[in-house]
Amino acid sequence: MSATRELFGGTITADLPSQLIDASDLRQVPDTQEVFLSPASGISIIVEVLQSVPATDPREAAGLHFDALAHDNDAKSHKVHDATKVPNGSNGATPDPVVLYGSQTVHKFNSTSADEVRILLALYRVKDKAVDLVMTMNVPMTSTDGGSVSEDSWAEAKAVFDVAAKSLRIVDYGLFA
């Protein structure tokens, strides 16, 4: 079951599963991030306020954020499978996101075997504030720590992400001041 969650003190809202755990209840999270964890798997959702990348094409910009994530993850390989602009029905109140689907192969915690992680990324460009708002879902398909999910669970995660990406609303642009 989904519920509308207030992010960044209510300046952004999004429909997310109510069972997700707010990571800030467990550990310190940077002020520029909201992080949610699945209690049943290694799936995580991160909403992040980032400096805008120089690309003018939104699909290229989403790819640059995906590449930066692969770099941060020390990914051994990464690939973008698809990137599509998705209407969110907000009539321009919130930018329509570009939704990217990709995959990365990463070694976690100095493990000798690599994990396959599927990545869903939604990019909302706030051009007049030079900000890129990025929502990312990490879905481990193979995992050395036992947090991986099945193909059926991947389909469910993708559906959850689609709802979250289309429902995200920027309520107060003052967040980006």
pLDDT at position 165 is 98
Task: Band the pLDDT of 177: cuts 50, 70, 90.
Answer: confident
Task: Band the pLDDT of 88: cuts 50, 70, 90.
Answer: very high
Phi, psi of 20 (to 5 degrees): -65, 145
Strand order in the sheet with 98-106: 21-22, 33-37, 44-51, 131-142, 115-126, 98-106, 77-85
What is the mean predicted confidence (pLDDT) over 145-149? 84
pLDDT tens track for 103-131: 999 987 667 788 999 999 999 999 999 99
Q: Is the pTM of this model over 0.85?
A: yes
Res 145 pLDDT > 80:
no
How far apart, in whole angstroms, are the C-alpha atoms of residue 34 and residue 36?
7
Round the average pLDDT of the chain to a whole number and report it.
Answer: 95
Name the helix (H) or strand (E) containing 69: helix 58-72
Domains and CATH numbers, the chain: 2-171 (3.40.1000.10)
The answer to whether residues 62 and 100 touch, using CB atoms and an 8 Å cutoff, is yes
How far apart, in whole angstroms, are the C-alpha atoms of residue 124 and residue 170?
10
Of 81-85, 95-99, 141-145, 153-157, which gets the smallest average pLDDT?
141-145
How far apart, in whole angstroms, are the C-alpha atoms of residue 110 and residue 142?
15
Give, in order, the Cα–Cα distances in Å from 65 to each of 5, 71, 105: 24, 10, 16
pLDDT at position 146 is 79
